[in-house]
Amino acid sequence: MLLIAHRGYSGKAPENTMAAFRMALAAGAKALELDVHQTKDGRLAVLHDWNLKRVAGKRRRVAAMTWSELGAVDVGGWFSSRFHGERVPLLEEVLDLARGRAQVHVELKAGSGKYPGIEERAARILDERGAWNWAMVSSFDHAALKRIRKISPKARIGYLLGPAFFPKAWRETAVLRAESLNISVRQATARSVRSAHERGLKVFVYTVNDAKTLSRMRRLGVDGVYTNFPEMKAA
């Protein structure tokens, strides 16, 4: 079972920073997960939230900032003074760090409805790096996944289920030629895992941060878990 470093080694370093990704790789993580938003001037920035309130104490929305504004913000100090000065990475930087060392699960936090052109930009960045062999794109925004599939026949797609219900997910994952069904711990049951596997889908589960749940996921036979502690051992 693959342990995917959720937002990097986010249990020990500020999430979605180069420090967190470097730490995950140094700990031997074979896969990294990250979140993507788009700046006002069309750069793909790696952070989880729509605004900077939680990680920088600022009420500014990513969509309303240019990359030069966003890239100058400290997003490490909130976690510990040791990480003061960590910046929001670009998607390209994390991919270049991970190349040849780990798979990357790229989660688009929204598609073109909110961030015009984000799918084309993400696909181009992945294409330019020949990254589809070691990276995949996921989203709760299934329209974004459809655009990714249309743009790139080579795309590897993870279908984040969210509150959608399973029959719809089975239909959409087939149309998308998705590689995986990405579900929450609560949605991971013997039945859902079996149904996904019967359809040829891998199952990735978020977010598993304790040994007991990790053991349960192993027993269920899931293919991977997103965890803030990629060195964690099952109970």
Out of 107, 119, 141, 223, the only residue in the binding site for Ca ion (CB under 5 A) is 107
Q: Is 33 in the site for ligand G3P (CB under 6 A)?
A: yes
CB of 125 to Ca ion, least distance (A): 17
Nearer to Ca ion, 195 or 209 (CB): 209
Q: How many Cα atoms occupy the beta-carbon half-sphere of 81 within 13 Å? A: 0
Task: Check if the beta carbon of residue 74 is closer than 8 Å to that of residue 56.
Answer: yes
Q: Is 139 in the site for ligand G3P (CB under 6 A)?
A: no
CB of 158 to ligand G3P, least distance (A): 7
Q: How many Cα atoms occupy the beta-carbon half-sphere of 78 within 13 Å? A: 16
Please state, in angstroms and as integers, the Cα–Cα distance from residue 210 to each residue in 13, 101, 190, 230, 232, following that order.
18, 25, 19, 11, 8
Out of 21, 115, 226, 229, the only residue in the binding site for ligand G3P (CB under 6 A) is 226
> How many Cβ atoms from other residues are within 10 Å of residue 193's Cβ?
21
Nearer to ligand G3P, 30 or 69 (CB): 30
CB of 139 to ligand G3P, least distance (A): 9
Out of 134, 159, 206, 229, the only residue in the binding site for ligand G3P (CB under 6 A) is 206
In three-state secondary structure terms, 4 is: strand
Residue number closest to ligand G3P, CB atom: 206
Please state, in angstroms and as integers, the Cα–Cα distance from residue 88 to each residue in 35, 132, 147, 156, following that order.
11, 23, 26, 25
Nearer to ligand G3P, 39 or 187 (CB): 187
CB of 68 to ligand G3P, least distance (A): 26
Nearer to Ca ion, 49 or 69 (CB): 49
Q: Is 119 in the site for ligand G3P (CB under 6 A)?
A: no
Structure tokens at 141: 């925004």
In three-state secondary structure terms, 19 is: helix
Selected catalytic residue, list 37, 48, 142, 197? 48
Q: Is 107 in the site for ligand G3P (CB under 6 A)?
A: yes
For residues 80 and 100, what is the distance between their CA atoms, to the nearest angstrom? 30
For residues 42 and 56, what is the distance between their CA atoms, to the nearest angstrom? 21
Nearer to ligand G3P, 67 or 140 (CB): 140
Tell me, yes or no, if 105 is annotated catalytic: no
Tell me, yes or no, if 37 is annotated catalytic: no
Q: Is it true that the peptide bond before 66 is cis, omega within 30 degrees of 0?
A: no
Query: Would you tell me which residues interact with Ca ion (CB under 5 A)?
Result: 35, 107
Q: Which residues bind ligand G3P (CB under 6 A)?
A: 6, 33, 35, 48, 107, 138, 160, 182, 206-207, 226
Residues marked as catalytic: 6, 48
